[in-house]
Chain A
Amino acid sequence: DAEITQSPRHKITETGRQVTLACHQTWNHNNMFWYRQDLGHGLRLIHYSYGVQDTNKGEVSDGYSVSRSNTEDLPLTLESAASSQTSVYFCASSEKGLNRKGAFFGQGTRLTVV
């Protein structure tokens, strides 16, 4: 079965370190997204990509970057981790074109910055 997987599921890192969260999907979806989930804020869009070599900033992109070198992967990098980036991160993917089917989500990565 097709799926979308995130790794690691849990990570603790120190302030100032660079951290990369992996997202891999086997749906062959063109669209991929990174969200963060925080209490009282719901899910907020960090970055998104509509295809290989395409990346775009979302609502809360400061301090984050992504790259899309193939269809399956969209890694999220925190350039210099800050305590404010402690959160649960979700990767999602959806088909090319208009979003009639919604998006499929990974299980999430819980990141703690100490």
Chain B
Amino acid sequence: AQSVTQLDSQVPVFEEAPVELRCNYSSSVSVYLFWYVQYPNQGLQLLLKYLSGSTLVKGINGFEAEFNKSQTSFHLRKPSVHISDTAEYFCAVAPKESGAGSYQLTFGKGTKLSVIP
């Protein structure tokens, strides 16, 4: 089984400031890692993913995330945020191996990013 912890439920940040949204996971098997973004009254949209290889992955809208296997973390960063980045962000994992339940995404509880003008 997998679990995902997003340590911050809300993160306020001023426009053009950097931001880091934290994600830690627990799993007995190797996992793929994802960040999704949810804008108000919309569904979830894939921001970026880590499958293998380079631990720094880049996504849409200038976001990037770094996979740290020893710390079981996958923190999301952006060097300069915009008002339009105001949204809720979800970290998720899915097992790499096949088997019962292996295609499911397990989500964290989400972090609401509020960008202050």
Chain A interface (Cβ < 8 Å from any Cβ of B): 31, 33, 35, 40-45, 48, 50, 56, 58, 90, 92, 94, 97-108
Contact = CB atoms under 8 A, between A and B. Distances in A.
Interface of B: 6, 9, 32, 34, 36, 41-46, 49, 51, 90, 92, 94-98, 101-110
Residue from A43, A45, A48 having most chain B Cβ neighbours under 10 A: A43
Which 3 interchain pairs have the tightest Cβ spacing? Answer: A42-B109, A105-B43, A99-B94
Nearest to B101: A56
Given A102-B34, A102-B94, A105-B43, A48 B49 contact: no
Given A41-B109, A99-B94, A103-B105, 12 more contacts: A42-B6, A42-B108, A45-B104, A48-B103, A48-B104, A90-B44, A97-B103, A98-B96, A99-B103, A100-B32, A102-B46, A105-B45
A31 B43 contact: no
Contacts of A107: 42-43
Nearest to B51: A100
B107 A106 contact: no
Residue from B92, B95, B104 having most chain A Cβ neighbours under 10 A: B104
25 contacts: A33-B104, A33-B105, A35-B107, A40-B9, A40-B109, A42-B108, A43-B90, A44-B107, A48-B103, A50-B103, A90-B43, A92-B105, A94-B103, A98-B97, A98-B102, A99-B32, A99-B102, A100-B49, A102-B32, A102-B36, A102-B46, A105-B43, A105-B45, A106-B43, A107-B43
